[in-house]
Structure 1
Amino acid sequence: MADQLRWDYLSCYGADHIETPNLDWLASRGMRFNKAYVQSPICGPSRMSFYTGRYVRSHGSTWNGFPLRVGEPTLGDHLREIGVKCSLVGKTHMTPDKEGMERLGITPESTIGALVAQCGFEVFVRDDGTNHSDYPGRCGEDYDQYLRDHGMDGDNPWEEWANTAIGPAGEMRTGWVIENAPLAARVPKEHSETAWLTTRGIDYIEAQGDQPWLCHLSYIKPHWPFLAPAPYNDMYKAADLPPVVRSDDERQTDHPLMQAWMNMRVCKSMARDEVRDLAGVCYMGLIKELDDQLGRLFSYLRETGRMDDTMIVFCSDHGDNMGDHWLGEKDLFYDCSARIPLLIYDPRDQADATRGTATDALVEGIDLVPTFLDFFNGADKSHILEGRSLSPLMQGAATEWREFAVSEYDYATRDSRREVGMDQADARLAMIFDGRWKYVHVEKMRPLLFDLEDDPDELCDLATNPEYANELSRLRDLHFEWSRQHHSRITRSAAQIERMTDAKEPPGIYIGYRDKNELEGDGRQMPDHASG
């Protein structure tokens, strides 16, 4: 998993401004999913959906730093039940439910507590790519020690080497300031965070032997800070960037939330061409570095024969607006943010027929958990998991598939919420996308509507056009239908419920029978002490 990687910055998805040959190779060996969407276009809630196989409205971790509640089943929980080790190398953005753990008497030092605190993963390496002197719980000590072991010392080597450059006068320049993006990070490329995580991923695989395992190799980049090691820092120029996608009409929208969003500082900054050009060029360099390191990983898998028995999934937790639609950062449901790259290589013979092909089926991040369970022959858990296995698509099997994809967004902590006078409890957005029409529900405001067939750049909001009233109504109904679906009844499977239905009332409970004959005629037995 990459962090904040746009789908349209990979050459296997048609990008002509950058070449990513190693990911192209993976696509040629597996299947490319053209319409894959995250369940929230922000790190934390998106990842919690990837790790639980459940929508954001179901797992409840709706924003970065909002804990995943104790007891929420995770991928690691499901895999351990069938003897599969589930481990982390890299980032999760997981915040543990410390209050819930304390209430239940679960200590972080215990075996169960460690798993709960790490979103169900056994931690081989955790590195969230955050300034851990300010956020000590986010982890990064292993990489700090690695840098120190290679002569890169300091109070915070992650900050001082991986995310600091040297200016023309020999001065230290921080990667947090975008004007420094053309400079090379102090860290040599062979010791960058991307290279180090790749090495640690290989170390993990080498240590596993024959036992079944899943490794979540979770990269930090191309997420900010925008600073890359040489030669990736100046590999591209502003002229290499694709044209920005936005229109003057978008600036004139009558939608108060969209106006407020474009008014946020980060959006006004990234909407400036000179800022986007600096950030975008570095962004491309970081993607190129990631592709090169994945080439090293794929070479290792080929040389060791692990390509014969290992499924490889490449994806991102969300994209990046990068100035499109006058927006910065991630957020909202434009394809540059909510749509992700998803490439899957399945080593099984059943997948041979679809190698090197692509599908336009609507796929969601929550589909990965059931896909992994299916790969390991785990039991169906559709009463818990809201995604569905992608195996039928990869095996070319005829299958009924979803009619629409869903993504959600909780903007309660965003400045735009206060600008429009919205109570935090109502700061909710939901996207319904049926493959052509994208509908955005905005609580207590009018919706948004885009036709991606006639307007693939999503420049024209059609929600107020009466010609599209029928589409608006149809998609609103789909949102209502999805909202009514079961999502909290996870402690009983469908098979268990059928058995309970067959058994009628629980043993020893007899409700509404007039007499003994009626009771026994229903196949029930009288209590031993009763004669009538």
Structure 2
Amino acid sequence: MADRLNILFITADQWRGECLSALGHEMVKTPNLDALAREGVLFRRHYANAVPCGPSRASLHTGMYLQNHRSGTNGTPLDARHTNWAKEAAKLGYDPVLFGYTDTSQDPREEDPDSPWLRTYEGPLPGIRPVCMMGTWPTPWTDWLKGEGYEVPSDIRFAYGHRAPGTEYEDGAAAPRPLVYPKEADDTTFLTNRTIDYIAGSDKPFIAHLSILRPHPPFVAPEPFNAMYDPEEVPGFRRKENAEAEGAQHPWLEHQLSRKHFRAPANERKLRRLKAVYYGLMSEVDEALGRIFTFLKESGRWDNTLIVFTSDHGEQMGDHWLIGKCGYFDASYHIPLIIRDPRREADGARGTEVDLFTENVDIMPTMLDLIGAEIPVQCDGASLRPFLEGRAPEKWRSEAHWEFDFRDPADDSAEKRLDLTMHQCTMNVIRDEKYKYVHFTKLPPLFFDLEKDPDEFVNRAADPAYLPLVLEYAQKLLSWRMNHDEQTLTHISLTDDGPVARPATRY
């Protein structure tokens, strides 16, 4: 065990994939993540497999597509029969620990009827030990704030967005109002400090999952990050002239834009303020991660720690008049991925970038592969180890895939508006370098020519010139789903000589 790798597995919630200065973003500055990329591998075309947080993290932590783990919404239980990276690492003697949250909805069949985990979707991943668990209720942080003499809202859920008094930017202020707490005391710094404290006190190989809320809403940043980016200077929004014109693209989009919670503010100054603060929160996360990286170097752990940085999903941030994460647009699914592998075998790949499509289902197989654990048959993804060692895999996917389950057991408005049953509130997406195909269970499909229309404005599904391609991509999507049907026991046959097993790759 002594010579085993440490793992620092970092997720920053709701981080759009292009928002790294290493990728040439016109505004966002991420010097510490850029430095990590120079010492590791940057995956340019990395995608989440689902939204929102719960379904996406279920894929991230189990290595399974939504069609197999079936935790399709925030609150849909994750079947206890599925394993995950934490359980598998524990078999090798690791003690996987959590700082933040995993948004795992617990299987009610495994819980006592009075369990508090049956009253929230924000349960812990089975097999992980929460050291500092913070989600909607940031109790460890707010308790610490009180102990330090800071005033905390009576409803501690509002501490994340507790603004300093004053005028807001859209009402004439020169900059967005900051968080009332200084950066030395905010939630990102608090969680970072707890992680450093834990690692500093660890005398054996560790696996720590640091799950940071930011840049997820509320879009409120401490000074100086609230004013780091000028709202007037942020890039514009990729959208049609108004939400009504946008919604004409598809019935689902028209429905989504009718929902106040997902429709971007009409006030341009407010939307620009949100985007500027969104960027500021990213730079704050980058600064916090820089402190962890410095600590790992100074404590002698840098050269034995695998670092994985990614997100659970992206953010529309006004594009297509949407806010949040939903649907089929790339902005909700394209996310960053940087992996620094400390092993000597990875030296030749340092500073390289990968243009092939990678997905969050690849993270679990990668971590398990690098610590010498067996990769479970349930995993739909594959280890990224070849890329980390500077060699191309013999076979690899040529598209990205994701799913969106927009059912809501507590709200049947989509079913009524779109004439669907609850189980028909689903869509599947396949996209490659040139085209994107979106298939709905019982709604018209969408097809985009990404070379001619990178912002996804023109649906060509009914264009006669594109019909052969629409058919081709519908068949590709069907073949992908068939190839990735749940296969946990399908490689086993019971014979006269007993069970015979022959695992096979997905590609």
Question: Which residue matches 1:149?
Answer: 147
Mapped to 2, the partners of 1:108 and 1:253 lie a distance apart of 43
- 2:199 matches 1:201: no
Mapped to 2, the partners of 1:375 and 1:108 lie a distance apart of 35
- 2:372 matches 1:362: no
Question: Which residue matches 1:27?
Answer: 37
Equivalent residues of 1:180, 1:227 under 8 A apart:
no
Question: Which residue matches 2:207?
Answer: 214
Mapped to 2, the partners of 1:65 and 1:394 lie a distance apart of 35
Cα offset, 1:28, TM superposition = 0.8
Cα offset, 1:16, TM superposition = 1.3
Equivalent residues of 1:69, 1:100 under 8 A apart:
no
Code of the residue aligned with 1:219 in structure 2: it is I
Question: Which residue matches 2:133?
Answer: 126
Where do residues 75-474 of structure 1 align in structure 2 (5 Å cutoff)? 75-102=85-112, 118-128=125-135, 130=136, 132=137, 140-154=138-152, 156=154, 158-159=156-157, 161-168=159-166, 182-210=176-204, 212-248=205-241, 251=246, 253-270=248-265, 272-381=267-376, 383-399=377-393, 400-413=395-408, 415-474=413-472
Q: Which runs of 5+ in 2 are unaligned?
A: 1-10, 118-122, 501-507
Equivalent residues of 1:426, 1:444 under 8 A apart:
yes
Code of the residue aligned with 2:351 in structure 1: it is G
Equivalent residues of 1:439, 1:450 under 8 A apart:
yes
Equivalent residues of 2:264, 2:321 under 8 A apart:
no
Question: Which residue matches 1:515?
Answer: none
Deviations 1:88-139 (A, max 9, x none): 1112112222344348xx9789xxxxxx9543211111111x1x3xxxxxxx
Mapped to 2, the partners of 1:336 and 1:36 lie a distance apart of 12
Code of the residue aligned with 2:239 in structure 1: it is R
Deviations 1:500-521 (A, max 9, x none): 4573799xxxxxxxxxxxxxxx
Cα offset, 1:154, TM superposition = 4.0
- 2:78 matches 1:68: yes
Cα offset, 1:260, TM superposition = 1.5
Code of the residue aligned with 2:235 in structure 1: it is P
Cα offset, 1:435, TM superposition = 3.1
Deviations 1:137-163 (A, max 9, x none): xxx221121111111244647446542
Q: Which runs of 5+ in 1 are unaligned?
A: 110-115, 133-139, 507-532
Q: 1:209 to 1:435 in 2, by over 3 A?
A: farther
Code of the residue aligned with 2:431 in structure 1: it is F
Question: Which residue matches 2:13?
Answer: 3
Deviations 1:363-387 (A, max 9, x none): 1101010101101011232x21111
Code of the residue aligned with 2:61 in structure 1: it is Y
Cα offset, 1:280, TM superposition = 0.9
Equivalent residues of 2:77, 2:104 under 8 A apart:
yes
Q: Secondary structure at the match of 2:275?
A: helix
Equivalent residues of 1:43, 1:317 under 8 A apart:
yes
Q: 1:259 to 1:154 in 2, by over 3 A?
A: closer
Mapped to 2, the partners of 1:385 and 1:422 lie a distance apart of 31
Deviations 1:465-492 (A, max 9, x none): 11111211111112211222354342x4
Q: 1:435 to 1:417 in 2, by over 3 A?
A: farther
Mapped to 2, the partners of 1:309 and 1:447 lie a distance apart of 48
Deviations 1:16-52 (A, max 9, x none): 1121111111111111111111110211100011111
Cα offset, 1:334, TM superposition = 1.5
Mapped to 1, the partners of 2:249 and 2:237 lie a distance apart of 22
Deviations 1:181-205 (A, max 9, x none): 9111111110100001111111121
Of 476, 479, 482, the match for 1:478: 476
Cα offset, 1:242, TM superposition = 1.0
Count of residues in Structure 1 that have an aligned counterpart in Structure 2: 478
Q: Secondary structure at the match of 1:311?
A: strand
Mapped to 1, the partners of 2:54 and 2:499 lie a distance apart of 43
Mapped to 2, the partners of 1:423 and 1:493 lie a distance apart of 31
Mapped to 2, the partners of 1:46 and 1:435 lie a distance apart of 23
Equivalent residues of 2:428, 2:438 under 8 A apart:
yes
Equivalent residues of 1:42, 1:330 under 8 A apart:
yes
Mapped to 1, the partners of 2:364 and 2:416 lie a distance apart of 36
Mapped to 1, the partners of 2:68 and 2:273 lie a distance apart of 39
Q: Secondary structure at the match of 1:359?
A: strand
Question: Which residue matches 2:62?
Answer: 52
Mapped to 1, the partners of 2:499 and 2:340 lie a distance apart of 48
Larger Rg: 1
Equivalent residues of 1:162, 1:187 under 8 A apart:
no
Q: Secondary structure at the match of 2:106?
A: coil
Return the structure number with greater relative CO, CA threshold 8 A, min gap 6: 2
Equivalent residues of 2:230, 2:276 under 8 A apart:
yes
Equivalent residues of 1:147, 1:157 under 8 A apart:
no
Q: 1:272 to 1:260 in 2, by over 3 A?
A: farther
Q: Secondary structure at the match of 2:308?
A: strand
Q: 1:469 to 1:386 in 2, by over 3 A?
A: same
Mapped to 2, the partners of 1:30 and 1:190 lie a distance apart of 29
Equivalent residues of 2:401, 2:431 under 8 A apart:
yes
Equivalent residues of 1:108, 1:117 under 8 A apart:
no
Mapped to 2, the partners of 1:418 and 1:47 lie a distance apart of 29
Q: Secondary structure at the match of 1:84?
A: coil
Code of the residue aligned with 1:386 in structure 2: it is D
> Percent identical across equivalent pairs?
34
Deviations 1:193-246 (A, max 9, x none): 000111111112112223x32111000011111111111112222122111112
Question: Which residue matches 2:8?
Answer: none
Question: Which residue matches 1:523?
Answer: none
Code of the residue aligned with 1:251 in structure 2: it is E
Mapped to 1, the partners of 2:252 and 2:484 lie a distance apart of 30
